[in-house]
Structure 1
Amino acid sequence: MRACLPPPARLVTQSNPPASTPLTYRDAGVDIDAGNAVVERIKPLVKRSFRPEVMGGLGGFGALFDLSNKYAEPVLVSGTDGVGTKLKLAQQLGRHDTIGIDLVGMCVNDVLVQGAEPLFFLDYFATGKLDVDTAVAVVGGIARGCELCGCALIGGETAEMPDMYAPGDYDLAGFTVGAVEKADLLDGSAVGEGDVLIGLASSGAHSNGYSLIRRIYDRAGRPGTLDLGGVSLEDALMAPTTLYVRPVLELLRGHGAGHGKPIHAMAHITGGGLTENIIRVIPEGLGLDIDARAWPLPPLFRWLQTEGAVADSEMWRTFNCGIGFVLIAARQGVAALEASLDAAGIGHWQIGEVVPAGTGQRVRIG
């Protein structure tokens, strides 16, 4: 775990030392000792995320996970993602401790859509010159995100690649594997006309739309201390992605999902916003009628829309607008689901319903 990749090949030029001069890997820009220091410092953080199924410890060439005693007929569900240009904002503001939670959230919330419990996670951290404190903060956030959703961080890679990144820059990617019993797999086939959309509150923009967010933020003069309902703009922009795993898995265990059960499908509101994500789990011939007045637009999104003069249609297609995850449920099961969400302290609203597709757009928001 967390080996360093070699630097890219470079042409020898006149400015290079003569061939007789001894060179080391550190001379080429890769500090193995720094990589080892990162590993040692993150070990206790990573270990807190382990589950009983994890076999062995850190440092092997492959990570082992024993699935044999947990599922009768398991279906594995995998997902991979990054955090987009929210990374640029994290680097600009020097806030590295929660961006790892965003990375975990983008992956585990995706596999959760099909009813899968995220089992384990692997990360990839790449930079031009390894800064130990920054790397530990980032990977520590990843470990914390895994711990919060019961997903084991069992492997990863730290790549130091000189000349590939500007000073202070780094990149992140993540990969997760979840499992669900075959009989409980959610594929959207149970969705029918009249089903209700229950939107679960987001913590902010999560990790989507940040190319537009950064453009608006820069054009506004980066007013970091601007107050948005008791939260500074910078805090609102960097709020980590909500991890929906534990409460939603609890709903699935308590209420059931699929044909003849309350929850018919689910959707993670990521890139494409409300316009393009929910419809992905809706069968052909059906559409969505979403009432934008059903929930309050959070202050961050109000500021972005006003400051950027962003049209409503662009808002719905770019951002989650306060709804980070959606349950598509049978109408007769909605009251019980909402009672359970209230008990878990999860903000939620009935935001629309499934309707016949009709002609034109399958998704109507108004």
Structure 2
Amino acid sequence: MRLKSIAVIAYGLLSVGFSTASYANLKDDIIQRGTLKCGVSSDKMGFSYINDQGKWAGMDVDYCRAVAAAVLGDPKKVEYITTTSKNRFTSLASGEIDILSRSTTWTVSRDAKLGADFTTIWFYDGQGFMTRKSLGIKSATELNGATFCLSPGTTSEHNLADYFGSRGLTYRSVVFEKTEELYAAYQKGRCDALTNDVTGLAARRTLFKDPNQHVILPEVISKEPLGPYVKQGDNEWRDVVTMVGNALIEAEELGVTQQNAAKLAKSSPKPKIKRLLGTEGSLGTDLGLKPDWALKAIEATGNYGEVFARNVGVNSPLKFERGANALYTNGGLMYSPPFR
């Protein structure tokens, strides 16, 4: 009996050890390290790419900058690590990156099977099709028998199979791991069409030699809620990354901007703004951050509307409409939980 009791105690101690390891505090490690490791794409204009000034830019990049500002007090303290559609979740699981901010779709299987947790919906998108205008195709159903250039391990690959299979249509595929190789092959005529998030297709088309010779078809065949992932098992880190995005959404709703945030933090009489900016309440402490964490994030990137306009909206070459990405008060789906 004594040996059995010792064995039970030992097992319990081991279990506690495993539990502690699986819920390691990444936030504190990042603070000690002084740098946030952010997994991104390198070539998706408007989301994560290197701009003409040789600097990282885009909505997904801004998310990491906001997290760095909230956690480290400085949006420049980010190390950007290029990932592919194939290795992105492996990079997250291995600890190579702290956050995957790469226009990645939230799905049940990814949350359940890949050791990753989704955080905030950062962009609502949907999958579409692009083909050469010279083919004269007006609808996706006319792509029966077409050859598609595809990336492995993406929701686009599975959605295409579902869409064509349910309609009795056939297609051939040519697979490329690297995005730049995929689009280069399409432009050389190795495939008839591309399928991806509509925003991704539109962004890539702007880089083609003659964008007007390529058409995006009218069908949108899927729901693609995009946003950052973190490694599963660290609830505090997931809360931090989730609430940084929500803080920028809440800031837009409350009229807090990059320009007026500091002033409002000192003078606003509104309780909602005070709680958001850390001059009232304990939200920062609750998250294990400084009281002004959200203020720092907003000062780094602006609110969600500013991030959208600068990278993909009216102030960008892409000129995307807000659509589903407008605030819920303006007919969209963007909605933050209460900051209280």
Range class of TM-score, shorter chain: under 0.3
TM-score computed with the length of structure 2 as normaliser: 0.21
Q: TM-score, normalised by structure 1?
A: 0.20
